[in-house]
Amino acid sequence: MKFPLIPVLVACFFAVLFLQWLLLDNTLSTSRSQRPPSPDAIEINGSFSLLLEGTNGGGSFYRKPQDNQEENFPEYFRFIEEDLRPWRERGGITQEALANARAIGASFRVLIVKGELFVEHYAECYQTRALFTLWGILQLLRRYPPCRAAAPRAAAAINSSSTAAEYRVRGTDLTGDVSWCVPDVDLMFECHDWPLVERAVHAGATHPPLLLKYCSTPRHMDVVWPDWSFWGWPEVRIREWDTTRNLIREGTGSIPWRDRIPRAHWKGTTWVAPGLRKPVVDCSSQRRGEGVGDSKEVKETGNDWGVDAWDTNWVHEISEESTRLENQCKHRYKIYVEGSAWSCSLKYILACASTPIFVKPAYFDFVSRGLRNGTHFIEVPLPSEGPMCANLKRAVDWGNGHPDEAMRVAAASSNFVQNELTMDNVHKYMLLFLNQYASLQLFDPSQLPHEGMEVATVESLTISAPKEINCVEYLRSY
C-alpha cells in the first residue's frame, strides 16, 4: 500500500521547524539589541506601578566588543550616536548648521584647534555657567592630548571620491576604535535652561541648528552636554562632582536606610516652577515661618502625607548646616522635581543612597537616560495628572511596607553615581562625543579664522573669575 502524502507531510514538518528556528533567532537577535527584558510590575495601591528588575545595585554597562579593549562605558554613552543622528542622516555637520545655531540663540562658540581652546561670546550666561563649562573643557584638554590628524575624518572623506553614505559607515561610533585624543572641533553652546531647537520646526531643514545644551526633550534636537556644576557651583558653595559625591557618601549618606526618617524629603526654590514644586511643598507636614535658614520657626500644618518639603532661598541659606548637601540625606526618600527645565540637583539626590521619588520628568540631561524607573527611582505622576500628596504618600507607604525592594532601588541609585557617574566617566563622555562630532564635520576647523577669538587658558579663566564669591578657590580645588 502506497502513502503518497508522507513525503509531503515530512517536508511540511521540517519547513515548520525551520520557520520556528528563524522566528526564535530573530527574537533573540532583537532582544540582544534592546534593553533587558521587561521586568515585573508591582502595583502600588492601584495608583501607579513600580518596575523592579534584578540588579546588583548598579546600572548596566555597555562593553565595547573588541577583545583588546578593556574599557567599559556606562549605558548612557549610547545616546551620543542618537543625539547626532539628525546630522549624520543629512551627510554631516556643516558650517551652515552652526550658523543657524548662532542665529537661534547660541551664548558662546568654542573652537578647539590642536589642543588650544578659543572662545567667542555672544550673550551673557547666568552666574558662572559659562566659566565652569569652559573650565570643564580645559580639564579635558589637560587630560588628553590633541589628535595628530590635521582635519576631521569627514573632511578627508569629502576630499576623496567617497560618497556621504560610505563616509557615514566609516564614521566613529562607540563600537569601533576609540581615539583617546581631542580632535579639532567647532561648537555652539547655549547656557540657559530651556531647549530651543524644536524637531517639528526643523525636521525638514537641510542644515538644522546644532546647539549644545545642558538638557533636552524628545521634542527637541538640542544636543546634551555635561552642565557646569560638575566642575563647581560657587554661588551655592558646591564643589566639583567627585569631591561633592564623596562628601555626601561620608556624611548623612552613610546612615543605614532603615535608620533614616521614614518620610520623603525635598528642599529647593518654588519660584522657578511654582506649578510643579509648590504642590510638593503643600504636602509637607511642616512650614517654616519668618527668619533665615535654620533659625526659622517651624509650624505644623496638620497634614501628614509622609513628606517634609521646604521652600528655600539658596543665596540666603547656603551657609546653614542643614542646607549643605552632605547633611540632606537623613530621610529614606528623596524627591526629585524639575524646575523651569531639568534640575542639576538630580545627581546629588541619587548620591544620598535614599530611595529617589521622581515627579514625572519632562527633560533629560546627558546622564539621566541611563536611569530606569523601578531600578534607580520610583516615578509618580505630575500634579496635573493626579493628586500630588496622595501619590507621594502611596510611594512612601509602599517603600516602608516593602523595605527590601525600596533599599534595592536606593542602592542602585547610589551605586550608579559612585561607579558610573564619576568625573573620569564625565570626561570620557565628552571625549567620545567630540570624536563622533569631529567625524561628522564637513569642514576643517583648523582652517577657520580665529585670530579675533579669546584664547581660554587656566590662567585667563582664573583671572577673569568673580572675586566676590571666592570663585578661584573652587577652580583651584579641581
Per-residue pLDDT of the chain (478 residues), as tens digits, is: 454 555 545 455 555 444 444 443 443 333 333 333 333 334 444 444 444 433 333 443 333 334 444 567 999 999 999 999 999 999 999 999 999 999 999 999 999 999 999 999 999 999 999 999 999 999 999 999 999 864 444 443 333 333 333 223 223 344 445 678 999 999 999 999 999 999 999 999 999 999 999 999 999 999 999 999 999 999 888 999 999 999 999 998 899 999 999 999 999 999 999 999 999 999 998 765 444 444 455 555 567 899 999 898 766 666 666 678 889 999 999 999 999 999 999 999 999 999 999 999 999 999 999 999 999 999 999 999 999 999 999 999 999 999 999 999 999 999 999 999 999 999 999 999 999 999 999 999 999 998 889 999 988 998 888 887 778 877 876 5
Are both 268 and 387 inside the same structural domain? yes
Burial of 299 (C-beta count, 10 Å sphere; 0-12/13-18/19+): exposed
Rg of the chain over all Cα atoms, to the nearest angstrom: 26
Are both 97 and 115 inside the same structural domain? yes
Domain annotation covers residue 20: no
Residue 121's identity, in one-letter code, is: H
Q: Rounded CA gap, 296 and 261, in Å?
A: 21
Q: What pLDDT is stored for residue 475 in this prediction?
A: 81
**50 HSE (CA, 13 A, CB side):** 24
CATH of residue 330: 3.40.50
Domain annotation covers residue 14: no
> Final residue of a domain: which of 379, 395, 422?
422
Domain annotation covers residue 49: no
Are both 141 and 255 inside the same structural domain? no
- Output the CA torsion 433→434→438→441 (10° steps): 80
- Output the CA torsion 342→345→351→352 (10° steps): -120
* Domain carrying residue 90: 72-233+424-476
Are both 113 and 217 inside the same structural domain? yes
> Final residue of a domain: which of 380, 399, 422?
422
Q: What pLDDT is stored for residue 130 in this prediction?
A: 96
**50 beta partners:** 42
Domain annotation covers residue 46: no
Q: What pLDDT is stored for residue 298 in this prediction?
A: 53
In order of 71, 117, 146, the CA distances from 424 in angstroms are 12, 20, 18
Are both 157 and 273 inside the same structural domain? no
Answer yes or no: are the C-beta atoms of 97 and 87 closer than 8 Å. Answer: yes
Are both 295 and 159 inside the same structural domain? no
Strands 261-268, 331-336: pairing kind = parallel
Domain annotation covers residue 306: yes
Q: What pLDDT is stored for residue 452 in this prediction?
A: 82
> Final residue of a domain: which of 404, 422, 440?
422
Q: What pLDDT is stored for residue 361 in this prediction?
A: 98
Are both 315 and 414 inside the same structural domain? yes
Q: How far apart are the first and last CA of the chain?
A: 91
Are both 282 and 194 inside the same structural domain? no
Q: What pLDDT is stored for residue 302 in this prediction?
A: 65
Are both 278 and 307 inside the same structural domain? yes
Domain annotation covers residue 257: yes
In 318-477, which residue ranges form alpha helices assigned H by DSSP? Answer: 346-350, 388-401, 403-415, 423-440, 458-464, 471-476
Q: Which bin fits 240, alpha (ψ -120 to 50), beta or left (φ > 0)?
A: beta
Q: What pLDDT is stored for residue 43 in this prediction?
A: 47
Are both 287 and 363 inside the same structural domain? yes
Q: Rounded CA gap, 463 and 472, in Å?
A: 8
Domain annotation covers residue 18: no
Are both 286 and 386 inside the same structural domain? yes
Closest CA to 237 of 173, 293, 163, 317: 317
Q: How many domains does the chain have?
A: 2
Q: What pLDDT is stored for residue 381 in this prediction?
A: 97
Q: What pLDDT is stored for residue 7 in this prediction?
A: 53
Domain annotation covers residue 369: yes
Q: What pLDDT is stored for residue 164 in this prediction?
A: 32
Are both 242 and 282 inside the same structural domain? yes
Under 8 Å CB-to-CB from 443, ≥6 apart: which residues? 94, 95, 155, 186
